[in-house]
Chains A and B, each alone.
Chain A
Amino acid sequence: MNKDIAILGVGMHPWGKWGRNFVEYGVVAARAALADAGVNWRDVQFVSGAATMRNGYPGYVAGATFAQALGWQGAQVNTSYAACASGSQALAAARSKILSGECEVAMVIGADTTPKGFLAPQKGERPDDPDWVRFRVGITNPTYFALYARRRMALYGDTQDDFALVKVKNAEHGFDNPNARYRKKFSAQDVAASAMVADPLRLMDICATSDGAAALIVSSLDYARRIGKKDAPRVAAVSTVTPTFATDTVEMPDLATDSAVAAEPQRFRAALPRKAYEEAGIGPEDVSLAEVYDLSTALELDWMEDLQFCARGEAAKLVREGVTRIGGRLPVNPSGGLACFGEAVPAQALAQVCELTWQLRGQSGSRQVQGAKVGITANQGLFGHGSSVIVKR
């Protein structure tokens, strides 16, 4: 059985720190996706929302919130929460509905409004919450990114200059992207001159948090054919697997890894794309471009290896050789990535799919990857959540 679904339309609200209600952004993205798809809102049979935890009750029931804002029309509704992979999990729910024949056309949507400054845990004395505990003893998000980065330096000889190259590349990619928040080119010197946050990572190595929204209109292949969109890009895989015990990497918000005395250690980030490749029946050699979760510059290098674009330890070499730039053999983060967007949690995994869709349709303008046929996303968040989506022509 063919398990593909069609992406009929995509839309985004530009990323920024706009300080408005997340529903406003969502509606803008939803209407853009509907217009792009040429689908009437009343024809959407299923609304699959990605939840936001920072905007009260309407955020917990995001699917219904967006459906109401667009005008109740009797669609079925769902809301998914899976930390940074919430958007992908909402997409997986829509795909299941479509493939089971329960609906033909669905909207997948996520939006966020983020608070100012560093992310911090909920208030109070809460020693049972690992997220509270790690902040209590002074372990923040950049701590984890920096530990991974330093490990690369020790194991593979990566340098801070290599990490800076990732920022320079992504800044160049996102420069013309109308949906990106940071549209400014930077030099390696700019990165080196930015403040140290968590050695070896500087301010410009680490992504910010942003407001933003992204939406997709997806359908059965049969429906796509009927409305004259048989060549629309297709979702060929949605991987949202959990880690497998014992995790080999200390992950946010934990203070320790699993103990590997009774089970071999496993790498979670590598498991996500492995399942996606398996599901799509393709391999890394078939990929034209990738959108990966560059929470830090160094993390983009880890993802390249987890996506099997090269052997462990070789990612920095690919970046130095320009392989991952637009115009190179395998562009990574042609949108500009999180470096240019900042993270809008429930929208980010969907924004990755929006970019792949535009790229595969050849509509990316100055950041177009020539001849793009297969794109893959990779993303990871807290508490064992992550995703990898494959889009193909």
Chain B
Amino acid sequence: MDTPVKTPVLEGWFTLDEREPHLLGARCAACGTYYFPKAIKFCRHPDCAGESFEEVKLSRTGRIWSYTNAAYKPPEPYISNDPFVPYGIAAVELEQERMIVLGQVASGVGVEALKVGMRVELILEPLDDGKLSWKWKPLPENKP
């Protein structure tokens, strides 16, 4: 069944602007702490009793903190093609938010193309089941 509208793998986790997508986080109105995912009711800072949050778009670029790949097909609920094609995974440090966010790496980018400290940007790409997900992609400046 081909549908023209792409559905996100997780509803409300990121904007669907395919040109410049953002992860959707939350920010505590009292202490400024960011959260991802955004579903937060009580601020987790031990000295903050904040219960009011605004939805924020997280920075869409950051630096690779570390990276790996999935060389084996993950168990359900992950859905993958047969035969399984390995994919990269990056943990990316967002400077303004001072947090690290995980995500798959853009398809076709293997671990050999990645480096700790490399700048990456957020993109949207379908997973094997066609659902849209956020992924990290090295910025063109990294090309030799």
Residues in A whose Cβ lies below 8 Å from that of B75: 117-120, 135, 140
Q: Which of A123-137 contact B (CB under 8 A)?
A: 123, 125, 127-128, 132-137
Selected interface stretch from A167-175, A193-201, A367-375: A193-201
With a 10 A CB-CB cut-off, give which of A137, A143, A146, A265 has the most chain B CB atoms: A137
Residues in B whose Cβ lies below 8 Å from that of A245: 44-46
Contact B34 A259 (CB under 8 A): yes
Across the interface, B71 reaches (CB within 8 A) one of A123, A197, A256, namely: A197
Question: Is the C-beta of A255 less than 8 angstroms from some C-beta in chain B?
Answer: yes
Contact B116 A135 (CB under 8 A): no
Contact mask for chain B residues 27-47; partner A; CB cutoff 8 A; 1 contact, 0 none: 010011111110100001111
Residues in B whose Cβ lies below 8 Å from that of A155: 116
Across the interface, A199 reaches (CB within 8 A) one of B10, B32, B45, B111, namely: B111
Contact A137 B9 (CB under 8 A): yes
Across the interface, A151 reaches (CB within 8 A) one of B46, B72, B98, B116, namely: B116
Instruction: With both chains docked as a complex, state the minimum distance between the C-beta of A320 and any C-beta of chain B, in angstroms.
Output: 22
Contact B71 A127 (CB under 8 A): no
Instruction: With both chains docked as a complex, state the minimum distance between the C-beta of A258 and any C-beta of chain B, in angstroms.
Output: 7
- A155 CA to B87 CA, complexed, in Å: 24
Contact A258 B37 (CB under 8 A): no
- A200 CA to B66 CA, complexed, in Å: 11
SS class, residues of chain A in contact with chain B: loop
Q: Which residue of A lies closest to B111 (CB)?
A: A199
The size of the chain B interface, using a CB distance under 8 A, is 48
Contact A263 B45 (CB under 8 A): yes
Contact A256 B66 (CB under 8 A): no
Question: Is the C-beta of A261 less than 8 angstroms from some C-beta in chain B?
Answer: yes
Contact A135 B11 (CB under 8 A): no
Contact B66 A147 (CB under 8 A): yes
Contact B76 A123 (CB under 8 A): yes
Contact B100 A139 (CB under 8 A): no
Question: Is the C-beta of A68 less than 8 angstroms from some C-beta in chain B?
Answer: no
Q: Which of B109-144 contact A (CB under 8 A)?
A: 111, 115-117, 127, 133
- A154 CA to B64 CA, complexed, in Å: 11
Contact B67 A255 (CB under 8 A): no
Contact A127 B11 (CB under 8 A): yes
Q: Which residue of A lies closest to B69 (CB)?
A: A199
Contact A261 B78 (CB under 8 A): no
The size of the chain A interface, using a CB distance under 8 A, is 49
Question: Is the C-beta of A148 less than 8 angstroms from some C-beta in chain B?
Answer: yes
- A30 CA to B48 CA, complexed, in Å: 46
Contact mask for chain B residues 94-111; partner A; CB cutoff 8 A; 1 contact, 0 none: 000111111110000001
Contact A261 B71 (CB under 8 A): no
Contact B68 A136 (CB under 8 A): no
Question: Is the C-beta of A227 less than 8 angstroms from some C-beta in chain B?
Answer: no
Question: Is the C-beta of B77 less than 8 angstroms from some C-beta in chain A?
Answer: yes
- A120 CA to B37 CA, complexed, in Å: 21
Contact B98 A260 (CB under 8 A): yes
Instruction: With both chains docked as a complex, state the minimum distance between the C-beta of B114 and any C-beta of chain A, in angstroms.
Output: 9
Contact mask for chain A residues 226-266; partner B; CB cutoff 8 A; 1 contact, 0 none: 00000000000000000011100010000111111111010
Contact A196 B71 (CB under 8 A): yes
- A257 CA to B77 CA, complexed, in Å: 23
Contact A198 B69 (CB under 8 A): yes
Contact B89 A138 (CB under 8 A): yes
Q: Which residue of A lies closest to B110 (CB)?
A: A199
Q: Which residue of B lies closest to A248 (CB)?
A: B100
Question: Is the C-beta of A121 less than 8 angstroms from some C-beta in chain B?
Answer: yes
A/B interface sample: 25 pairs, CB < 8 A: A120-B75, A127-B11, A133-B37, A136-B9, A137-B9, A137-B10, A137-B78, A140-B70, A143-B102, A147-B89, A150-B67, A151-B65, A151-B66, A151-B116, A199-B71, A200-B68, A244-B46, A250-B65, A256-B99, A258-B33, A259-B99, A261-B97, A262-B31, A262-B45, A262-B48
